[in-house]
Amino acid sequence: MVQDSSAVEFGALGLEVTGVEEVGGEVVVRVQSPGGQAVFCDGCGRRARSKGRREVVLRDAPFSGGRPQQVVWNKRVWVCPDAHCAKGSWTERSELAGPRRVLTERAARWAVGRLAAVEGSVASLARQLGVAWHTMWSHIASAAEQAAASSRRVGPVAKLGFDETVMASASRRRRRRFITAAVDADTGRVVDVFEGRDSADLRKWVSKQAREWVRAVEVVCIDPHEGYRSAIRSLRGDRLRAGTQIAVDPFHVVRLANQAVDRCRRRTQNDTTGHRGRKGDPLYGARKLLLTGQERLDATGWDRLRAALDAGDPYDEVADCWEAKEKVRAVFKTAGPDQAAARLDDAISWCQAPEAAPELHRLARTLKSWQTEIHTSIATRAHNGRTEAANAKIKDIKRSARGFRNFTNYRLRILLAAGQKPRETQPVTKIRTRRPSFNA
């Protein structure tokens, strides 16, 4: 079976298998090109003369069962009979592997597929194939660079999302390094990645993109980050269209309301008990209930929440924050822009009340500052959900490599794994249902 399968695989490349053996637990396949073929010099056109053969050892993709596999290619060497020809001598070429390569093309495709699926790192794949890290990366880099060629690979993007993540944590000798991912908010594919998260970094990235591609962007989805918003505003009418809209992500707006509840709970807890939350404190025991949506609370949950507020919230400030949080959540529960605008005005008015907690006054200022972007998010149904999913994939890539120091390599790995269309896999027939039936 090994001999037959190898003959079929290498026969498609114009090579014939002369032997298959197992040496030290590795499968060794010996191949060569069939004789009797006329080869002509590229320089002068004369028929070349054979100069014998030379063995080249290549590493192939793992064999069935994960066993390592070598390919010993008995390459033919040719020489031009014209002594004055500049071509001299050369070795034959094949689609099996490029010149001066250690891995076969199949092994390179296998490694690229593993990296694209985030099923290993360059170092782990290099160990598995028995080559050095730089050898492994040199084979992968070309495929990764093709993935990062240009923004045109994803086509025109109507909704473009931006979100940052930490590339390297801070230490005594360096500050935290951030990267920002530009993601197609409709498909979730990563368009590009650039270093930094400031307004100047975003403007610099946009200035490098094709003008026609940038002009096709209709909505930019961002978190409530002033650096992104100021950059987009400054680019309107210049690189971006004058009518490009900015939408703020609903998840982060609700998160701001949740943070107001948490801050108020901690402050009230310190004022009433004189210490941080401990087991047995009423508000500390209900900290998760305070952040749970009211539609998800059952009768027991409501009873616990009321009891905690009655016992630990003497001035009803935490209850007011909880009510404000629900009002903010209600803004995004309607598809009608007019009704959403009315609910947002109601939430801002509630937070601006003179007797409201200081956490609500802060939340009101934020909501009022981002009011236009919130309306745009509701009207266009734009959000950063797929951008956050792409960020999760980026973090998986970082964890698989135990972190990155080289931004160029990090960017190529990201675009290889998250910048392409999802790979089509062979459909698998189910052999067991979700609830198998047992015959008595």
Q: Does residue 363 share a domain with residue 265?
A: yes
For residue 206 the two structure tokens come to: 């946009």
226 located within any domain: yes
Half-sphere exposure of 5 (CA within 13 A, CB side): 5
CB atoms within 10 A of CB 253: 23
Q: Does residue 374 share a domain with residue 297?
A: yes
As a whole-number percent, the residues of the chain with pLDDT over 70 amount to 93
pLDDT in tens, 318-371: 999 999 999 999 999 987 889 999 999 999 999 999 999 999 999 999 999 999
List the end-to-end C-alpha distance of the chain, in Å, as a whole number. Answer: 41
Q: Does residue 191 share a domain with residue 207?
A: yes
177 located within any domain: yes
Residue 198 — pLDDT band, cuts 50, 70, 90?
very high
Please state at what angle helix 299-312 crosses helix 250-273, rounded to 10 degrees. Answer: 50
Q: Does residue 260 share a domain with residue 230?
A: no
376 located within any domain: yes
105 located within any domain: no
pLDDT in tens, 7-65: 667 877 878 888 888 888 888 999 888 876 788 888 888 888 888 888 889 999 887 77
Distance in angstroms (rounded) separating the CA atoms of residues 160 and 151: 12
Q: What residue has token string 């905690």? A: 308
pLDDT at 422: 64
Q: Does residue 396 share a domain with residue 373?
A: no
Distance in angstroms (rounded) separating the CA atoms of residues 182 and 197: 11
114 located within any domain: no
**258: pLDDT strictly greater than 90:** yes
439 located within any domain: no
Give the CATH number, domain containing residue 226: 3.30.420.10
Q: Please say whether the beta carbons of 219 and 244 come within 8 A.
A: yes
366 located within any domain: yes
Q: Does residue 231 share a domain with residue 183?
A: yes
Q: Please count the structural domains in the chain.
A: 3
Q: For 114-118, 152-156, 310-314, which range has the lowest pLDDT when averaged over its residues?
A: 152-156
Q: Is 232 exposed, middle or buried (0-12, 13-18, 19+ CB in 10 A)?
A: buried
pLDDT at 436: 57
- What number is the average pLDDT over the span 395-414? 92
**pLDDT greater at residue 155 or residue 409:** 409
Query: Which structural domain, as residue segments, surrounds residue 239?
Result: 151-249+384-418
136 located within any domain: no
Mean pLDDT of the chain: 88
Q: Does residue 237 share a domain with residue 284?
A: no
Q: Does residue 403 share a domain with residue 363?
A: no
Q: What residue has token string 């009433």? A: 272
pLDDT at 265: 96
Q: Please say whether the beta carbons of 140 and 108 come within 8 A.
A: yes
Q: Does residue 404 share a domain with residue 309?
A: no
**231: pLDDT strictly greater than 90:** yes
Distance in angstroms (rounded) separating the CA atoms of residues 67 and 385: 41
Q: Does residue 229 share a domain with residue 156?
A: yes
Per DSSP, helices labelled H in 185-336 are 199-208, 211-215, 226-235, 250-273, 282-285, 299-312, 317-331
Last residue of a domain, one of 80, 98, 116: 98
Last residue of a domain, one of 98, 122, 143: 98
Q: Does residue 391 share a domain with residue 376?
A: no
Last residue of a domain, one of 380, 410, 433: 380
